[in-house]
Amino acid sequence: MDPTERHQTLALAREQGRLQETQLGPWQYLRLNQDCHELPEGTVVFGDTVIFGYPHIGRIFWLTTGLREQLSGPCWVEEKVDGYNVRLFRHGDSVLALTRRGYLCPFTSDRLADLLDLRVFAEQPDLVLCAEVAGPENPYNEAAPAAITEDVRLFVFDAMRHNRLGLLPPREKLALVERYGLPAVPQFGLHRLDDLEPLRALLLELDRTGREGVVFKEDTPPHHRIKYVTGNSALSDLRATSLAIRQLPAEYFMQRVLRLALFRCEHGLPVTGDLAQALGESLLDGMVAAIDQQQRQHKVCHTFRCRFRQRANAELLMAALGQRLGEGQVRLLRLAPEGAYWRLEFTKGLPRTTGLLGHLLSGGLVFD
Amino acid sequence: MDPTERHQTLALAREQGRLQETQLGPWQYLRLNQDCHELPEGTVVFGDTVIFGYPHIGRIFWLTTGLREQLSGPCWVEEKVDGYNVRLFRHGDSVLALTRRGYLCPFTSDRLADLLDLRVFAEQPDLVLCAEVAGPENPYNEAAPAAITEDVRLFVFDAMRHNRLGLLPPREKLALVERYGLPAVPQFGLHRLDDLEPLRALLLELDRTGREGVVFKEDTPPHHRIKYVTGNSALSDLRATSLAIRQLPAEYFMQRVLRLALFRCEHGLPVTGDLAQALGESLLDGMVAAIDQQQRQHKVCHTFRCRFRQRANAELLMAALGQRLGEGQVRLLRLAPEGAYWRLEFTKGLPRTTGLLGHLLSGGLVFD
């Protein structure tokens, strides 16, 4: 896509109301609120600068055939970390973080100086780093990698440039990571696809240690990428989200049960009693907790906690979430100094879960 | 609804293409293929005779509040048997069985003389009996009540009249059952709704013994009806259908997991390790079997077996299923004499399950 086409597509998106004026604190920008031709949702325009959205990466459910069908030539294999996707970029004197959907994130932006050495943006002012932020103290995700026991960490996995659609080739990203000592996702090296045994062993090891999975990236153009996750990641997704029944589509849950079954079958792992019990608990424990919340509080919500360097950014996050989710859905529990930080605790309501359970617990009828 | 209105609604349904000419063997009739105003799907017209569809009965998920909200006055409490719904009616010299959706059922019609004393229809030619047919040897359902270990049994639970919309009051149905010695669903008697303890004890006993649940029917007009099922019925539904992932909507599965959680919470039953394991197995065992079938046979199907008095009716069933599900989806495995019966064994394909697993096992991509 050349710059002229890109501008035409952006103009078209604006006409169709898909490019929304978005404001957060002092920042005003345009945000693409759904895919538009080649431009992914989350593409943003800051004055003359376009930061393109992170592209959709397809997923395979069966490793043996999937690699053969979807990729060719040797691939870089990198860990897929279970967090939320951000793009970091320099804007004037600041470095800012955008969420996948293109919202400026006051939490991530506030904490960047703790998470990586920002001098890279001084030398490379048009760099966009794509990273996963993961850990138990974050404002978006209920789950976190088991190995991160407090706060959050940041893992760079891709890079882009201002005004340029698409990701840099894996080797260019690796060179940037090395040159600037960037924190990055664990790198498992370049793998041939005609010998699956080392990959299978790697995936089994990731499954055993409770990690999410991997992303494959072709070494040569067109640098296709695909993801593949472990059976265990399906279980931890279910454990983290079964409180949110009806909030997430039923397909979300059933696809994960199927992922677990496919992973066990492909890798010759039996469905043991312990595994079945873990699956049953991952579904029931959250639902029972939701029913319990609904009975006690007449609503169901998730509690989040995270820490900020600046109090103003915590307030900005609360305002932004309130605007996006509806004022009534976001409730401040605590904002107070704690060591060098401001500790924020808040809840996000699950209105569809609350609506369903409210209807059922008050004796409502369902026709099916 | 008076007869004039009823005829106007049927005429309207015909204009809108919802009243379909349907043929099976020597029988030709009209079948309402979706709800139309007050007329339920499955309403049929045989010449001058209209047999109305079985009405939709709402379900409550929380007993304590549900009974109070949805019903008033004492209610008859009857067992809800886990089978398929039929309506039996006299047509000329025959007694025929219609499925819920209004298809003539060659299997049920063939076996009626084994299942109940048909003399009731000689004395009451305009009677319509609504019944559940349940047992492991049936052509529709994968699950059956644990207590029925072979063939099928029939359980009358309601009655209607030719050309008259709506069900007879419970006492009229009970009088017919008694007078003609009809096989009927277990009857738990008339219960007051202001003392829930006996009902709770009944439901716990049904849960312990693996039965589906109950239907409540008001003793006085308007004779509202509602259903309520046990936690165990959710597990047995999942066990019977997890082979059919994607064939049934994801909501079907997730609603049953929620039913199980609600039943345990309301009745103070803990989520034990054994229960969680049973839930996990009910989901995983079927999916693993489906993956296994897909790998070995490149398709997923359910196997059914049932017995007929007359060979021609077995052939009629195969023809009818072939027409409804698509010829390629129904495959005869065996039709041979066995004692006084003809034994039929056949498979029904699960095309959506096959399509999904075929895509995934051959390495297809999913974007989510």
What is the tens place of the pLDDT at every residue in B153-167? 999 999 999 999 999
Does residue B1 surpass a pLDDT of 70?
no
pLDDT in tens, A160-180: 999 999 999 999 999 999 999
pLDDT in tens, B166-198: 999 999 999 999 999 999 999 999 999 989 999
> Inter-chain contact A276–B281, Cβ cutoff 8 Å?
yes
Using a CB-CB cut-off of 8 Å, the residues of chain A touching B362 are: 62, 65, 69
> Inter-chain contact A276–B273, Cβ cutoff 8 Å?
no
Does residue A6 surpass a pLDDT of 90?
no
Helices and strands of chain B, counted as H and E runs? 11, 17
Using a CB-CB cut-off of 8 Å, the residues of chain B touching A361 are: 62, 65
Q: How far away is chain A from the Cα of B240, in angstroms, using its nearest Cα?
A: 16
The partner residue sitting opposite A66, judged by closest CB among B61, B271, B363, is B363
Q: Say how many CB pairs under 8 Å bridge A and B.
A: 168
> Inter-chain contact B283–A279, Cβ cutoff 8 Å?
yes
The A residues from 347 to 366 touching B (CB cutoff 8 Å) are: 360-366
Beta strand segments in B25-175, E: 27-32, 44-46, 49-51, 58-60, 75-80, 84-91, 94-99, 127-134, 153-161
> Inter-chain contact A364–B60, Cβ cutoff 8 Å?
yes
pLDDT in tens, B242-285: 999 999 999 999 999 999 999 999 999 999 999 999 999 999 99
Using a CB-CB cut-off of 8 Å, the residues of chain B touching A61 are: 360, 364, 366
User: What's the pTM?
Assistant: 0.95
Does residue A77 surpass a pLDDT of 60?
yes
Cα B347 vs. chain centroid, distance in angstroms? Answer: 19
Q: How far away is chain B from the Cα of A85, in angstroms, using its nearest Cα?
A: 14
Q: How far away is chain A from the Cα of B234, in angstroms, using its nearest Cα?
A: 13
Which pair of structure tokens corresponds to residue B245? 């992932």
Q: What is the mean pLDDT of chain B?
A: 96
Which pLDDT does position A10 carry in this prediction? 85
Does residue B8 surpass a pLDDT of 90?
no
Which of A287, A293, A362 has the most B C-beta neighbours within 10 Å, making it the best mutation to test the interface with B? A287
> Inter-chain contact A283–B279, Cβ cutoff 8 Å?
yes
> Inter-chain contact A288–B261, Cβ cutoff 8 Å?
yes
The A residues from 23 to 52 touching B (CB cutoff 8 Å) are: none
Cβ count near B318 (within 10 Å): 18
Half-sphere exposure (CA, 13 Å, Cβ side) for B177?
22
* Residue of A254, A257, A250 lying closest to A235 (CA atoms): A257
Cα separation of A144 and A139, whole Å? 12
| B47: confidence class by pLDDT, cuts 50, 70, 90 | very high
* Residue of B184, B259, B152 lying closest to A291 (CA atoms): B259
Q: What is the mean pLDDT of chain A?
A: 96
The partner residue sitting opposite B254, judged by closest CB among A69, A254, A277, is A254
Which pLDDT does position A1 carry in this prediction? 56
Cα A186 vs. chain centroid, distance in angstroms? Answer: 17
- Between A7-21, A239-253, A283-297, B179-193, the lowest mean confidence (pLDDT) is in A7-21
DSSP B135-189: SSS-SS-S---TT--SS-EEEEEEEEETTB-SPPPHHHHHHHHHHHT--B--EEE
Q: How far is CA B246 from each of CA A9, A59, A276, rounded to the nearest angstrom?
A: 36, 18, 21
Q: Do the strands A58-60 and A225-229 form a parallel or antiparallel pair, or are they unpaired?
A: parallel
Cα separation of A306 and B186, whole Å? 57
Q: Treating both helix axes as pointing N-terminal to C-terminal, what angle do A63-70 and A197-208 enclose, rounded to 10 degrees?
A: 120
Does residue B92 surpass a pLDDT of 60?
yes
> Inter-chain contact B362–A65, Cβ cutoff 8 Å?
yes
Cα separation of A232 and B62, whole Å? 33
Using a CB-CB cut-off of 8 Å, the residues of chain B touching A67 are: 363
Using a CB-CB cut-off of 8 Å, the residues of chain A touching B245 are: 254, 258
Give, as one character, the DSSP assignment of residue B34.
Answer: S
| A5: confidence class by pLDDT, cuts 50, 70, 90 | confident
Which pLDDT does position A2 carry in this prediction? 67
pLDDT in tens, B292-326: 999 999 999 999 999 999 999 999 999 999 999 99
Q: How far away is chain B from the Cα of A166, in angstroms, using its nearest Cα?
A: 17
Which of B59, B292, B360, B367 has the most A C-beta neighbours within 10 Å, making it the best mutation to test the interface with A? B360
> Inter-chain contact A279–B279, Cβ cutoff 8 Å?
yes
